[in-house]
Structure 1
């Protein structure tokens, strides 16, 4: 098949896995002309934009920004001021998938075969992040095919000189500042690291509740309740207990350098997440 009739694309979330896949494809498949893209919700962490800038430098080409034509505030009104939630993930659908489909549609209509590379690792169950609705859109899983697991992803980023995005110091995944998949300790840390973003999330929540939304950002309690001083103490103490238990039973892989790093997925168990946002 000629080059004219094929297209290669790779979506970046600002997270660890998709960045490592971009590096991996650049190093192992340099003959492929891949378009790297990022769908910007406008509500991302500042660390995400900083990391994408460094990644562009490594790749030697710009990362396309697929900005949605209508922002979070527009869609919030369309959904009657109800917050997105694990039950109704309209944010992923309208701010991530919709711009992606809009971008690809003309190419598919021209008859191009599009190969979309997705960063599902070899140690993960296959979770289909985008269910192709077109026979010419092919989802490719290089890490799955080549046996790259989570430590392998970290090795790729360290060897490239990029390392991890800075938000991994306090948060387990990328995505919007007010992502409802955050652990409670992450909400506490958001307030500490980016108080202005936390206050914005709290304002959205109060407005949603006033409009009858059944959801708060964090399951079972509002952000006001979650950040009361006594509650913050409880959340931090729970985190420390979990950390101590995990470190006590953890055994380092003898084939790898020992690491004291513990990410929150390891601590609380692999949380559900939106593949389009968090990989």
Structure 2
């Protein structure tokens, strides 16, 4: 028995529920594939905000067919608009991530209750983050990719060999989550405008001015400003410059990494560890 097989045997022997939380992104999907058939009665869950991209739902359907196991769709039932009203119209932000708490964390913790849970998290060995660690003592994290040294190339291999490939939104966006996620980079907002104009309009409609206080998704400009033709041209031009710079700097890296690096260089905020797994 090699070290990886020993790990699988050790995890499988642990009493309690074994849960893989899916985001609709590449890493959690690759983890579900990696663990397929290796854990007893594994549960696959997806916390649905009901505001996800169409590509995310399509990708989850494909994964469910591949796994031949149901993916439990959890949601708060009251939805984003309810909590927006409860927070006085204040849009979620990096400083106040009520969307993560109310639409992701709380439905998950309600679902598992007080059961002993082993939560398998798809963070890779080449990442410097830990993801969501519950404060509840009955929920214990396990990081198979970190323990086994799997990196981005391994994730891409798992997805290709399964036939699923990458989610289609990776052509223009580097994170799963709500269509109007405030962590989106400038180029991703432009991509939403071009790929899903109705969803862009929905996001724009949420922006308001109340009593002189701006509730915008982006701190520096409203979506009405971002969508102006000259601004859109500028965004595209600057993205191509960054992408070419990444190609020159790292000529042997896959396109997904180059696009991600080009997008990340536009803004300083890091993505949400819950939605981006």
Quick one: higher RCO (CA 8 Å, sep 6+), 1 or 2?
A: 1
Pairing of 1:87-166 with structure 2 (within 5 A): 87-105=95-113, 108=114, 112-134=115-137, 136-166=138-168
Aligned partners of 1:24, 1:4: CA distance in 2, in Å? Answer: 18
Deviations 1:49-78 (A, max 9, x none): 100000001101110011113100000000
Across the aligned residues of Structure 1 and Structure 2, the Cα RMSD in angstroms comes to: 2.0
* Residue of structure 2 equivalent to 1:216: 216
Partners of 1:3 and 1:148 in 2: CA distance:
23
Aligned equivalents of 1:102 and 1:211: distance in 2? 36
The question of whether the paired residues in 2 share the 8 Å contact of 1:117 and 1:141 is answered with yes
Match for residue 202 of structure 1?
A: 204
Instruction: Find 2:171's aligned residue among 132, 145, 169.
Output: 169
Structure 1: distance between partners of 2:252 and 2:35 = 29
Distance 1:181 1:227 in 2: 17
Judging changes above 3 Å, is the alpha-carbon distance between structure 1 residues 213 and 73 closer, same or farther for their aligned structure 2 residues? farther
Q: Which runs of 5+ in 1 are unaligned?
A: 254-258
Change (3 A) 1:262 1:5: closer
Number of the residue aligned with 2:83? 75
Q: Following the alignment from structure 2 to structure 1, what is the Cα–Cα distance between the partners of residues 213 and 156?
A: 39
**Residues 83, 213 of structure 1: 8 Å contact kept:** no
Equivalent runs, 1:237-276 vs 2, <5 Å: 237-252=237-252, 259-269=254-264, 272-276=270-274
Distance 1:167 1:128 in 2: 22
Change (3 A) 1:211 1:98: farther
Give unpaired runs (5+ residues) of structure 2: 1-9
DSSP-derived class of the 2:146 partner: helix
CA distance in 2, matches of 1:51, 1:213: 38
**SS of corresponding position for 1:219:** coil
Instruction: Name 1:40's counterpart in structure 2.
Output: 48
What TM-score, normalized by structure 1, do the two folds share? Answer: 0.89
Q: Equivalent residue for 1:256?
A: none
**How many aligned residue pairs are there?**
264
